[in-house]
Amino acid sequence: MKIRFALLLALICSVVPTAPSSAAANRYALVIGNAKYPDADVPLKEPVNDARDVADELKRDGFKVSIGENLTGDGMRRAFERLYASIKPGDAVLLFFSGFGIQSNRQSYMIPVDAQIWVESDVRHDGFSLETVLSEINSRGAGVKIALLDASRRNPYERRFRSVSAGLAPVIAPNGTLVIYSADLSSVVSDNGGDHSLFVQELLKEIRVPNLPAFATLDRTRIGVSLASRREQNPWISSSLAEDFSFSPEVGGAQPQGPAAALPQPTPAAPPSPRPVPTPTPLADVRPPPSPPPVAAPVTPPPARPPAPVAAPATPPPSLNKPAEGGSANQPALADDPTIKSLTAKIAANPDDSNALYRRGQVYASKGAYSLALKDFDDTIRLNSKDVEALNNRCWVRTIIGDLQAALKDCNEALRLRPNFVDALDSRGLVNLKGGMTKNAIADFDAALKINPRMTSSLYGRGLAKQRNGSISEGNLDIANAKVLDPNIVQEFEGYGVH
């Protein structure tokens, strides 16, 4: 995990100031703020504002800045290709990304606004690996590589594949790299409701300090965020810088921003297309209109309780928008949904396309169209009776509509096929909680939390079950911790018909 690749930085000048050096031939920065994710309940508020302020500050500090807002996968790809094409040996290159980030297979991925993420493999297909980007920048000869990621947010895709850890993963980066995440590894934070994130507020304060070494700048940012959040948010830093570098060098002043061609305007979300390698063109500075209000999502790890044994697993229910029990969806709106239309066309072409049936069932469930979701899950299971994901999702939907006996049968079958599957344990805990079987619910939630101590739904469900079983103080502690991790957890359970 800590392997580094040797890189000699040939940036020695005959005369250098005593202050930290910033003598790289050029300073390039790519700044991305992604806020309008269709799968989120409402747009994030902070990323676009933060990206604009970071871009302005970096320009003052002599960086040639390219800024993109609400970029699709194609837009991010073109932005990266233009950045790569601009780099010459010895240059300093900085990446700032604010939006949703997801870790998969121990790598961190930056997510474009049009990502279609339903299973973990979609993260690697639609997202952009930080390690891959840094490796490409390094291969072009960049001497200093800096990545600032404000992407440790609870994302809207979590319930679709909860086996993926929250937050970001450690980065294996080339020598001469400095990386900071806005929160600790595998941790997430919430938007603070303001126009800027706490991380960026502290970052901008420190970047403006003249001649401060880059690592010291980010370390002071880390300390500032930790103190301002009362140690609830603790940024993570990794450094292998091989030379002194300052964001704001006093000597020589800022270089003027060179002319740049425009980044593509953000395009509406659409299913991802193959990724051609575009012809590189110069860097850009284009700013679409500001985006609407944000989604909240907090962090502080809950204490793990000793889990009770339970056997058998299944697969995760889809990421649902917590509709009311038995809720119905607007049929015309469903018919116009682009994802549903695309999946329906696939099913029309091949009625036995189990993957399309399963995904459409997830979308229907997320929109409260439970009868349609159940039909799709029924058809998926008809085609493959051992599809634990479909069994688990059908268990979850049946639980919401109150068909508890059938739900329990689905969860048990999923757990028989895949013992100790965390999402099915969580789903079966919900079945038992709604059915008044509090001891069984506690056992299921305990087992799920043993596998994933940060599973908020199991933590909150266990708290409710403990309260109902007479352990009021223990239940209150679980519920309090769950609310810290996700302030919307109460509304989520109310949507399941659990109060």
- How distant is the alpha carbon of residue 345 from its chain centre? 29
> 68: which 2 tokens?
């993109």
Query: Are residue 42 and residue 150 in the same domain, yes or no?
Result: yes
Sequence-ordered list of residues with C-beta below 8 angstroms from that of 122, at least 6 positions apart, any chain:
115, 116
pLDDT at 395 exceeding the cut of 60: yes
**Residue 398 confidence (pLDDT):** 95
- Indicate the pairing of strand 101-104 with strand 92-98: unpaired
Query: Are residue 343 and residue 481 in the same domain, yes or no?
Result: yes
**Residue 316 confidence (pLDDT):** 39
The whole-number average pLDDT for the span 103-128 is 87
Residues found in the chain: 499
Query: Are residue 226 and residue 360 in the same domain, yes or no?
Result: no
35 occurs within a structural domain: yes
The residue among 210, 238, 209, 211 whose CA lies nearest residue 224 is 209
Tens of pLDDT, residues 280-335: 334 444 444 444 443 333 333 433 333 333 333 333 343 333 333 334 455 666 77
Q: How confident is the model at residue 476 (pLDDT cuts 50, 70, 90)?
A: very high
Q: Could you tell me the residue range of the domain that residue 403 belongs to?
A: 331-495
**Residue 489 confidence (pLDDT):** 86
The whole-number average pLDDT for the span 42-59 is 93
100 occurs within a structural domain: yes
> Which of 207, 239, 271 delimits the end of a domain?
239
482 occurs within a structural domain: yes
> 489: which 2 tokens?
């957890």
- The count of structural domains within the chain is 2
**Residue 160 confidence (pLDDT):** 62
189 occurs within a structural domain: yes
Q: How confident is the model at residue 190 (pLDDT cuts 50, 70, 90)?
A: low
Query: Are residue 202 and residue 336 in the same domain, yes or no?
Result: no
The residue among 126, 127, 139 whose CA lies nearest residue 173 is 139
pLDDT at 67 exceeding the cut of 80: yes
Query: Are residue 486 and residue 337 in the same domain, yes or no?
Result: yes
> Which of 219, 239, 259 delimits the end of a domain?
239
Q: How confident is the model at residue 17 (pLDDT cuts 50, 70, 90)?
A: very low
46 occurs within a structural domain: yes
320 occurs within a structural domain: no
> Which of 175, 205, 239 delimits the end of a domain?
239
**Residue 479 confidence (pLDDT):** 93
The residue among 189, 267, 194 whose CA lies nearest residue 233 is 189
The residue among 432, 444, 120, 160 whose CA lies nearest residue 315 is 160
156 occurs within a structural domain: yes
- How distant is the alpha carbon of residue 195 from its chain centre? 20
Tens of pLDDT, residues 330-350: 566 677 777 788 889 889 999
Give the chain as a 3 state SS string. Answer: CCCCCCCCCCCCCCCCCCCCCCCCCCEEEEEEECCCCCCCCCCCCHHHHHHHHHHHHHHHCCCEEEEEECCCHHHHHHHHHHHHHHCCCCCEEEEEEECCEEEECCEEEECCCCCCCCCHHHHHHHCEEHHHHHHHHHHCCCCEEEEEEECCECCCCHHHCCCCCCCCCCCCCCCCEEEEECCCCCCCECCCCCCCCHHHHHHHHHHCCCCCEHHHHHHHHHHHHHHHCCCCCCCEEEECCCCCCECCCCCCCCCCCCCCCCCCCCCCCCCCCCCCCCCCCCCCECCCCCCCCCCCCCCCCCCCCCCCCCCCCCCCCCCCCCCCCCCCCCHHHHHHCHHHHHHHHHHHHCCCCHHHHHHHHHHHHHCCCHHHHHHHHHHHHHHCCCCHHHHHHHHHHHHHHCCHHHHHHHHHHHHHHCCCCHHHHHHHHHHHHHCCCHHHHHHHHHHHHHHCCCCHHHHHHHHHHHHHCCCHHHHHHHHHHHHHHCCCHHHHHHHCCCC
Query: Are residue 229 and residue 343 in the same domain, yes or no?
Result: no
* pTM as predicted: 0.52
Tens of pLDDT, residues 206-263: 999 988 999 999 999 999 999 988 888 999 999 998 788 999 886 444 443 443 334 4
pLDDT at 275 exceeding the cut of 50: no
269 occurs within a structural domain: no
CATH of the domain at 405: 1.25.40.10
Average of per-residue pLDDT values in the chain: 79
Query: Are residue 53 and residue 199 in the same domain, yes or no?
Result: yes
Query: Are residue 225 and residue 345 in the same domain, yes or no?
Result: no
Query: Are residue 342 and residue 203 in the same domain, yes or no?
Result: no
Query: Are residue 351 and residue 462 in the same domain, yes or no?
Result: yes
CATH of the domain at 82: 3.40.50.1460
Tens of pLDDT, residues 125-180: 899 999 999 999 999 999 999 999 999 888 777 666 544 456 888 888 889 999 99
More confident residue, 326 or 104: 104
pLDDT at 28 exceeding the cut of 90: yes
pLDDT at 407 exceeding the cut of 90: yes
Query: Are residue 347 and residue 213 in the same domain, yes or no?
Result: no
Contact between 206 and 145 (Cβ < 8 Å):
no
